[in-house]
Structure 1
Amino acid sequence: MRLKDKVGIVTGGAGGIGRGIALAMAKEGAHIAIVDINEENGQKVLEEINGHTEGMLFIKDISKRENVEDIVEKVVEKFGRLDILVNNAHASKQAPFAETTMDMFDLSFNTGFYPTFNFMQVAYPELKKTKGKVINFASGAGINGQPTQASYAAAKEAIRGITRVAANEWGADDINVNLISPIALTEGVKQWRENFPELYDETINKIPMKRMGDPEKDIGRIAVFLASEDSDYITGQTIMSDGGSTKL
């Protein structure tokens, strides 16, 4: 119970990596508010969380700052504190670089980068009180320049940039700000496998462990570590939870 009575927000928590993180943290004693746009799946994950601790569900468009403010306010109102912020939500469309459009960039930044920035800024006063933890998400798509993922890679690298800035600024407040760069078998990855089977096979062959990670066991446990006191002297880092694909 490394996170007993801690309170966290996990965006994109209704499935995939977000669900894995929410459940891993709940099993360690944290109360978790999940944020998503998929109400049906969100209710299912909320029930799973409530089987361990107490959760909340927000069906909100987090591209709007006022919704971010409302979520943070309601979580603190219910639980009295905020210790953990996990900015996992992100949507994008893949296309060859020459065919990438501004609409694709708008989708990626409005669902990934700007919500991450807004949640960090809005949550900062509460995280300062609890000496909290921020967990953002990077991607090998940006670090290595994955083909067909220009808009996604750009937003992920922008998130890495502001994470390092916040780590430098908020270190004096004892707030840890880190990134996970995962490879995990999610619904989105399964769809990517169908659309780009050759790239998928190429990706698997480059993973030394020859498999995709499990959202809860492989990625969620890293998030638990970063949210716990065990990571108190780690900040501004990109943790590669990718089976050894990228070695920084």
Structure 2
Amino acid sequence: MDLIIPTFFITILFAFSLLIAFIIRKILIEKAMLLEIDEDLKNLAPKEFFLNILKREKFSKTLNYVEFFFFLLFTIFIVFQGYQEYILFKEHSDSSINLISFILHKFSIPVFLWLVVSANLLLALLIRKRENKRIYEMLDKLEKSELLKSAQVDFLIPNNIIETGLLGNDIKFGSKFLFLLYPGYIIPYCWLNDVKIIENPGRYGSKSHYVNIILKTSSKPINITFAKKEICEKIRDLLLKKKYKSQKIDKIYKT
């Protein structure tokens, strides 16, 4: 049986499903940014509120479901078709042909896709655990600095939102905080030390850019990648303006 056609259709379906998952994630982020959330959620204590808003699985769940479904689909496809090819091989093949080489050659694309999906699922689990731990630590730090309550108030006010594309991380500029829902960051402007744009050269002459945010309270910078350099420049300029405005307000209060 020719495996090219079913493999092609499964691959196209996989790519289309990923696109739908990214669109759903984008919609969920936009709803949270625009405060289209349950009233009960708005009434939670600041820490519980942001844990519900920022936890990674909230926005990655659909993508993980898609990957898990295709992990099972590729597994069933490889096992079932592999058995069929094994029967045909035993009945008609030349004994000089190695069975393992024959199967790997016939299933090179499905096996490759299965490995990619498996690796992505494993990586997603590891990243989710790491990112949720980071979010807990970030919220604890804001709570100890007595900034978490004001961050919640700031988030619940309609503010300037910058859209960064389908795969991008939409950003919400509050009056005192920067909010990035995926990945989850809450950055007080009073903590900003410097903001830079760093160019990351890729293969075949391609380039990506990210905003490098250096905080006064941490030796580890925050790097946020965007699709276009123009977006990075806009984010940097707005952050620097917010930083200087925050510094002026601090000076007024101190005097």
Query: Shorter-chain-normalised TM-score: which range?
Result: under 0.3
**Greater RCO (CA < 8 Å, at least 6 residues apart):** 1
Give the TM-score normalised by structure 1.
0.27
Question: Which has a greater percent of helix?
Answer: 2
